[in-house]
Amino acid sequence: MAKGNKGNKKPRLAPVGGWPTGRKTAVPAERELSESAKQVPRLDIDHDEINERRPVWRFADLDDDGPWALSECGSADLKDILSKLNSFEKMKVGEIFASGSEHGKKYSLDSLGKEARNRLVEIEKDDETQIVRLRFSGKARFYGFLREHVFHVLWWDPEHEVVPSSKKNT
């Protein structure tokens, strides 16, 4: 079309379905996602393969506003925590959580104390099926969720309150 024929130009009509946006697929709005779509996906990895892996730590789920906030530990405790996490990284998941191991243990949510169960409801983590712990000393524990070989840290429990024990010094 020549420059002088601007007045004769036909208007462009939008194609059926609208103009392309460059996206290949539509992305649903946040409010449209189902609860199952918001959960952390589980990978299809063999259980034996997971047990042979070394653990790694994630702190995105850390509950730092509750009674077992990691931010409340002192510098001496923090030094011990980092040292112990370093030691755990040298072990395999299967060694840490082996039956009878003092290092790690898995619990159903029903095993938790009332305050811990209530806190899970408050932070909307009560839909989990189990919680795991790492033992740091006589009483001190880390609690969180194990996804394959990734330990998602939730709580620092220096006084063994999350899962109360009837044993002395534990």
* Average pLDDT score over residue span 109-133: 95
Neighbours of 28 (CB within 10 A): 10
Is pTM beyond 0.85? Reply is: no
pLDDT of residue 164: 84
Burial tier of 161 (Cβ tally within 10 Å: 0-12, 13-18, 19+): middle
Residue 46 host element (H or E): none
- Residue linked to tokens 């392309």: 20
- Residue linked to tokens 């534990």: 170
Both tokens assigned to 88 = 């755990």
Residue type for position 17: G
* Average pLDDT score over residue span 140-149: 95
pLDDT at 18 over 70: no
- Going by pLDDT thresholds of 50, 70 and 90, the confidence category of residue 48 is confident
What's the chain's average pLDDT?
84
* Average pLDDT score over residue span 151-164: 95
